[in-house]
Amino acid sequence: MNFQSAELTQQVAQTARDFAKQHIKPHVMEWDESQEFPVHIFKEMGKLGLMGVLVPEEYGGAGLSYFEYKSVIEEIAKVCGSIGLSLAAHNSLCTGHIMTFGNEKQKKKWLPKLATAEWIGAWGLTEANTGSDAGNMKCTANKDGDDWVINGAKNWITHGNSGDIAVIVCRTGEPRTKDNSTSFVVERGTKGFSAGKKENKLGMRASETTEMIFDNCRVPDANRLGEPGDGFKQSMKVLDGGRISIASLALGIAKGAYEAALKYSKERHQFDQPISNFQGISFKLADMATEIAAADLLTLQACDLKNRNKPMTKEAAMAKYYASEVAVKVANDAVQIFGGYGYTKDFPVEKYYRDAKLCTIGEGTSEIQKLVISREVLKN
Ligand SMILES: Cc1cc2nc3c(=O)[nH]c(=O)nc-3n(C[C@H](O)[C@H](O)[C@H](O)COP(=O)(O)OP(=O)(O)OC[C@H]3O[C@@H](n4cnc5c(N)ncnc54)[C@H](O)[C@@H]3O)c2cc1C
């Protein structure tokens, strides 16, 4: 694997960096305080190809690889974790699911709208009582003539209210049986589909998280993605790619926190010298830099395997698990380096600290990543 990022990757990263600096940075705290999900920002990112990074050009996307995708999520998350999270959910969950499992007609119908951000996408697997145990879902879809009738709710859904389209996984067989779920596309405005409670969160506050409710919601069989019974298997594959997203998101947050702490440590004087002169601070910076570099390499490894269509379940889980834990630790140390100022909203590190925690929870907790990794290593 070549660790030197290609010119194309650097150009794409620069585009995302410039956009974040100009359009996101000035509003970060305002959106965080008000929990506003700034839809217009995503429309703008759509114009730059950032909402369909992995979508082939024939479907209106940028047709780029996971290396560029990683760099986009990272650059945006360096400035705002919330926008990074929403970008990731749109690109790799909703769009990724249709791209991987949709038939030609479905891809032609929905991918161009998603890749250009004409439509914002949501993806619903989790329910109130089935998070880690997602296979035990209660939301059902029953076949009725040429339609499926969906009843139940999905919780914790990114863009559950503002999304124009959602891919949802519903139970279509007996509880706790094999192959008992199926994926469907539901468009906003479909009768019986509405949004429920919006969560008031610790971090990632500008990324909308809501409940989606289905009350005798009827969708045509043409909206079914893949074969009946394949929903859970499809989701696990989608989440393999999604883990690269969260690893990249965590990396962006960790790098943002580290860069802020590094700069501050050289500017802040105590005992007539910069605090970076104190080993207690400089060793923290050394740990941060080392752990970020290791998380970066794990994520690049997962990207490389995914680009080459090689098995990467273990590597994606390792990247997601490690990068997320590093982000939490780095953000915590960054607050410490800022001292009292780090505990206020006048400096960026308190937000990194709050946002980072999501990375150890969303798209499979750290414990679930360890379950995935241990299963893979015990296979041999
Ligand atoms: C901001 C945000 C956005 C999200 N966006 C989406 C989305 O767009 N779509 C979607 O479908 N979901 C989404 N989620 C849901 C997310 O994926 C779940 O919250 C996550 O999978 C954990 O599920 P849970 O919250 O029910 O926790 P639980 O599964 O109840 O876990 C509670 C604790 O028990 C531990 N645990 C559970 N099972 C085991 C086990 N077997 N071994 C060891 N420990 C275990 C967990 O690690 C955790 O520490 C989002 C969540 C958040 C917070």
Cα separation, 121 vs 102, in Å, equals 15
* Candidate from 328, 365, 367 with most ligand 1 atoms within 8 A of CB, to mutate: 365
DSSP letters, 238-269, are HHHHHHHHHHHHHHHHHHHHHHHHHHHHHH-E
Judge whether 7 counts as a catalytic residue: no
Cβ of 364 less than 6 Å from ligand 1 = yes
Cβ of 89 less than 6 Å from ligand 1 = yes
In ligand 1, the atom with minimum distance to the C-alpha of 93 is 8
Catalytic residue, from 68, 363, 367, 376: name it: 363
- Helix (H), strand (E) at residue 195: strand 193-198
Cβ of 368 less than 6 Å from ligand 1 = yes
Residue pair 210/195 in contact by the 8 Å Cβ criterion: yes
- In 3D space, the residue among 185, 182, 286 whose CA is nearest the CA of residue 235 turns out to be 182
Cβ of 124 less than 6 Å from ligand 1 = yes
Cα separation, 182 vs 168, in Å, equals 8
pLDDT in tens, 206-259: 999 999 999 999 999 999 999 999 999 999 999 988 999 999 999 999 999 999
| Phi, psi values for residue 351, rounded to 5° | -75, -40
Residue 63: which region, alpha, beta or left (left: phi > 0; alpha: psi -120 to 50)? left
- In 3D space, the residue among 47, 95, 63, 376 whose CA is nearest the CA of residue 238 turns out to be 95
Cβ of 125 less than 6 Å from ligand 1 = yes
Buried b (16+ CB within 10 A) or exposed e, 19-54: bbeebbeebbeebbeebebbeebbebbbebbbbbbb
| CA neighbours closer than 13 Å in the CB half-sphere of residue 368 | 18
Cα separation, 337 vs 159, in Å, equals 35
| pLDDT for position 4 | 64
- Helix (H), strand (E) at residue 219: strand 209-220
Give every CB contact of residue 293 below 8 A, 6+ residues apart in sequence.
Answer: none
Atom 6 of ligand 1, residue of closest alpha carbon: 157
Instruction: Name the one residue in this structure whose structure tokens are 């780095």.
Output: 330
| pLDDT for position 1 | 67
Cα separation, 68 vs 50, in Å, equals 10
pLDDT under 50: residue ranges of the chain:
none
Cα separation, 120 vs 86, in Å, equals 9
For residue 218, count other CB atoms closer than 10 A to its CB.
18
- Helix (H), strand (E) at residue 149: strand 147-158
Cα separation, 283 vs 336, in Å, equals 13
